[in-house]
Amino acid sequence: MKQIRLAIDVGGTFTDVFIFDENTGQISVMKTSSTPSNPERGILDGIEKAQLKGENIKMFSHGTTVGTNALIERKLPKTALVTTKGFRDVPEIRRGTKLDLWDAYEDTAKPYIKRRDRFEVNERIDYNGNVMIDIEEKEVRELARKLKRRGTESIAVCFINAYVNGENELKVKEILQDELPDVYICISSEVLPEIFEHERMSTTIINAVLGPIISKYIYTLEGEMEKKGYKDDILVLHSGGGVMTSSTVPRFAARVASSGIAAGAIASKHIAKLCGFNHAIGLDMGGTSTDISLMYDGDIRITKDWYIEYGYPIGFPSIEILTIGAGGGSLAWKDDGGSLRNGPQSAGATPGPACYQGGGEDPTNSDANLVLGRLGVNLLDGKMQLDKGKAVEAVEKIAKEFNYSTVEAANAIIEVANANMCDALRLISVRRGYDPREFALVAFGGAGPLHGAYLAKDMGIPTVIVPPHPGVAAAMGCLLVDVRHDISKTYVKDFKDVNLEELEFELLKMEREAKDLLEEEGVAKENSTLMSFIDMRYSGQWRSLAIPINLKAQSLEDALEAFHLEHEREFAFSDRKQSVEIYGLRLTALGTVPKPEFPKHIPSGSLEDALKEIREVYFDDKFMATKVFDRERIPVFSEIQGPAIVDQLDSTTVIPPEFTAFVDEYRNLIITLNK
């Protein structure tokens, strides 16, 4: 009988496995090593470690770093770009900007397709979509034969103004497919039919370079899962916070470029809502980096301004996640100006922090937390032993540099790490017009609960939530998402000139496309939801805001008022006398996937039974005798007064002296600052 819901998050170091048994309500978690050279192997190892049979798995959903790693490492198939004559160098020209505008020595990453692999054809479509120069079939077939001789594995086709009329692109695609049937081909009018040639071309190129990689990965994983007896769809998390089935993932490969980090944001949203919070900031702190997301009024912030490498944007909607180099393995160091720094350099999995005994010698956050007593010497239920002596040796390097004691140096390392994370929290909240005091902080990942209370205190955030399984929360997030597709279209018109019938006609066309995609995914009509948005901006502006609209229930005037209000909140400015224009249309199609209902627990045992030990932990400039609890044995509805440490398989939670933690019926730790 199928009763297992399986979620797996494939990270760079570990593959996290989250198992929910529908019959018993039991949750099982585990970690296994990732295998970057053979990514599906880590997934299969996790399933074997859990002793799962394919015929018992009801749903399998996962997030993967396959696309992210391929772009960063540049292990890409031989890909060609076919574009309009005169536009061969758009990937190099970009927007002419740099991540650090004033750093003359920092170069933007090179294009994913070299210039010698970018080809021009004679075609032209004007801004209204009229074909001025048609495709010449002979020219395209000659190009196809040249690409075949070069061993081309993938082709991106992006013509100027194809967003308004993709006729010429489609003709080229058909000719190339006829000549090169085994080559992956994608065209910009199908991938991202939006204005601005650089963003559209960049997205199409990334879709092309990832297409063969993602296709091979998915087909291999499907074959291996079939051998294990699992014959249903494999769901893959994408950047927009939804999932796609394995049949559609290869077509929209660029959407999984940030598959892994989106899962944590989904988990954060679910956990916060479960605890009764509609505003929450997610803090996913792992070994190398920290991913921060924001939920307001129950919705996670979405952006279209994102990339894996600066200069090469991906135009698909993505959960807005701010990533900084702050993790358990982040290195502490002294800069040329004599200041203490923390990250973004990391000890990584190899050699790892000094205390891991893997050959690392430089001080990290994990070493500092061990010196302060906040981390114990036994991790993973005693399966991993930390060497406190090596941690002390590493931290003493910083102590000597600044004439500190070892403990002062360790405390300084943690304070700098916390300051870095607070800066990032301000960027995603205060800088966006949100007051952190109205939010809860969901702290998870292997290292998030170590730092959560201190960050909340510095930011004025009143509540910290630590989920029952913080180290694998991102994997859990993979079980909590729906099938999702985002469709967009450029539609530029002054608001006062908009023809309502014409607007409805365009939205209906997009609805038909969305319904076809959901039907292809196997989503039943009763489980389908369509949400329409119009992108609006003040005339002459560059940036636009997506405003939800239901033309059957509201007028365009309602949307206009909603735009002014949202502009005021986002940018602290609005002007109802200023002319407004519609810039684009968007439609989100959701196919509801049944979610697991996590069980509520009843009190069992006592808090005293959960006490493991009392150890000396550094708080407020001194060591204090601190109770250390085994989280698995803490009864629900318990209240823990700080200072305290809560240990578990996948993480450690620090409750400072001025804080109190409450365990709710779902086993979430809710930590608040004493008044």
Distance of alpha carbon 316 from alpha carbon 192, whole angstroms: 8
Residues in the chain: 675
Given pLDDT bands bounded at 50, 70 and 90, which one contains residue 403?
very high
Residues 658-673: tens digit of each pLDDT: 999 999 999 999 999 9
Q: Which of 41-50, 333-342, 528-537 has the lowest mean pLDDT?
A: 41-50
What is the mean predicted confidence (pLDDT) over 610-622? Answer: 93
Average pLDDT over residues 221-229: 89
pLDDT at 628: 95
- What is the spatial distance between Cα 69 and Cα 50, in angstroms, rounded to a whole number? 26
- For residue 363, what pLDDT is reported? 93
Predicted local distance difference test score (pLDDT) of residue 551: 67
Are 289 and 325 spatial neighbours (Cβ–Cβ below 8 Å)? yes
The predicted pLDDT at position 194 comes to 87
Q: What is the spatial distance between Cα 419 and Cα 125, in angstroms, rounded to a whole number?
A: 52
Please check whether residue 580 is in contact with residue 497, taking contact to mean a CB–CB distance below 8 angstroms. Answer: no
Give pLDDT, residue 13.
Answer: 65
Q: What is the pLDDT of residue 262?
A: 81
Q: Percent of the chain beyond pLDDT 70?
A: 98
Q: Rounded to whole angstroms, how far apart are CA atoms 610 and 607?
A: 5
Q: Which residue type is seen at 624?
A: M
More confident residue, 482 or 361: 361
164-192 burial, b for 16+ CB within 10 Å, e for fewer?
bbbbbbbbbbebbeebbeebbbbbbbbbb
Extract the runs of DSSP E, i.e. beta strands, from 54-147.
57-63, 79-84, 118-121, 124-125, 131-133
Token pair for 541: 């502006």
pLDDT tier at 554 (50, 70, 90 boundaries)? low
At 242, is the pLDDT very low, low, confident or very high (cuts 50, 70, 90)? confident
Query: For the chain, what is the radius of gyration of the CA atoms?
Result: 26
Q: What is the DSSP letter of 634?
A: P
For 180, the 3-state DSSP assignment is coil
Contact 650, 407 (CB under 8 A): no
